[in-house]
Amino acid sequence: MSDVPSSGPEPQPASGTARPVRGMLHHVEIWVPDLGRAVASFGWLLEALGYAPFQSWSDGRSWRLGATYLVFEQSPALTADRHDRCRPGLNHLAFHVEDHEAVEDLAARARRHGWSLMFPDRHPYAGGPRTYAAYLVNADGFEVELVAVDHPDPG
């Protein structure tokens, strides 16, 4: 919940999606210092992961997958111009990806959209030998983790 009411449009029920279950995430709102950069980096990635554009207004955009949506807003109430994942609050968003080939494909394509690979010396097992993932960070300091559902064991 934000300190300032969002100026975005009122969410509409997701058509053609399963009924949400108790405890399921409804939405996550992330304040960004530059909406254009957020749309360029997150918009591409979310659409590549199957999210669809949902809402759009002068200070924000959202993407939805099923009944859950992610909001990116450039609020006039921001108190900093860069996200710091090491401060209290959001550290990162992690997304399931079908397999290790998809992780590698998305990680390679992400570079063209403002993302860079974190922990390249430990990629793709930076999270340990049982997790095949790409850890990416964008120009504003936001991190995403792309985790393969199916992957080979480390050699």
For residues 38 and 56, give the distance between their C-alpha atoms in angstroms, rounded to a whole number. 13
For residues 65 and 49, give the distance between their C-alpha atoms in angstroms, rounded to a whole number. 9
| CA 43 centroid distance within chain | 9
pLDDT at position 4, please?
41
Burial class (CB in 10 A: 0-12, 13-18, 19+), 146: buried
pLDDT at position 36, please?
97
Token pair for 62: 């959202």
pLDDT at position 15, please?
53
pLDDT at position 155, please?
67
- Is residue 118 within 8 Å of residue 143, measured between CB atoms? yes
DSSP 3-state of 147: strand
Helix (H) or strand (E) holding 133: strand 133-138
- Is residue 107 within 8 Å of residue 134, measured between CB atoms? yes
pLDDT at position 13, please?
47
Q: What angle do CA 72, 74, 75 make, to 5 degrees?
A: 115
Token pair for 114: 């403002």
- Is residue 7 within 8 Å of residue 59, measured between CB atoms? yes
| Beta partners for residue 147, in sequence order | 96, 133
- Cis check: omega of the bond before 5, within 30 degrees of 0: no
pLDDT at position 16, please?
56
pLDDT beneath 70, residues of the chain: 1-17, 155
